[in-house]
Chain A
């Protein structure tokens, strides 16, 4: 089973977690000032990366916390996990998957 490293609890089985979509999507501070296109962009448009993707996860059946992860979408390898509010770790500094 895939293990995911919760920043609060440590390595835990995948089935305790729920995927929460792309990370670092900032809600516009004043939605009323957005054009329809800008608002639709915030609501609906997401990256579809082939490779490293920053995404939210929630340790639902654990500590209940949301956190962020860098995952390689080509091989499901979790490169890093980090707490909400922290910047994504620089890619040179996270472990690369064995190829």
Chain B
């Protein structure tokens, strides 16, 4: 019988090669028309892409497609100020909404051959690499929480969730990881 105790779950998050908390990051949600989205992504040195549910990345920054008029812009924690000024300059005069949510969300990484299986305990998407390839990203649900899921590698996923949901999401992920690893 697998050890599914809280202590074991905490140990999984603390030491697991499967599930780990990612360091703080800078996060911005940008909403606007195609012109604003192209200008913003260009100003951050990211390749242009309109593909639905796809992320583009370069040099520690990433832009995740969340909707036809919405991007989640990620960067390192120390890049928040720089990102804000780059974006404000690039978007001047264009209708848009730019909201910093660096501290509103937390991120976890799941890795390993069982990562998709573990995620599927709470997420109903088809996570086979044919249906959900590397750099596919989307807003979706995990159990009762809303998450942003990004496949960053063949066996690596980044899970972004509201800070208030983080303990809930981690507990279920850790429980699933305990079971998958046992």
Contact = CB atoms under 8 A, between A and B. Distances in A.
B168 to A, nearest CB: 15
Contacts of A10: 52-53
Interface in A1-30: 1, 8-10, 12-13, 15-16
B70 A63 contact: yes
A98 interface: no
Contact of B125 (A8, A12, A63, A64): A12
Interface of B: 52-53, 66-68, 70, 124-125, 138-141, 146
Residues of B contacting A: mostly:
strand
Interface string A44-76: 000000000000000001111100000000000
A19 to B, nearest CB: 16
Contact of A8 (B52, B141, B146): B52
Contacts of B125: 12-13
Residues of A contacting B: mostly:
loop
Contact of A63 (B68, B124, B141, B146): B68
A1 B120 CA distance: 14
Given A1-B124, A13-B125, A61 B52 contact: no
Given A8-B67, A61-B140, A63-B66, 8 more contacts: A8-B52, A10-B53, A13-B124, A15-B141, A61-B139, A63-B52, A63-B70, A63-B139
B141 A16 contact: yes
B66 A64 contact: yes
A45 to B, nearest CB: 32
Contacts of A65: 67-68
Contacts of A62: 67, 138-140
A15 B67 contact: no
B142 to A, nearest CB: 10
Nearest to A15: B141
Given A9-B53, A13-B124, A13-B125, A64 B140 contact: no
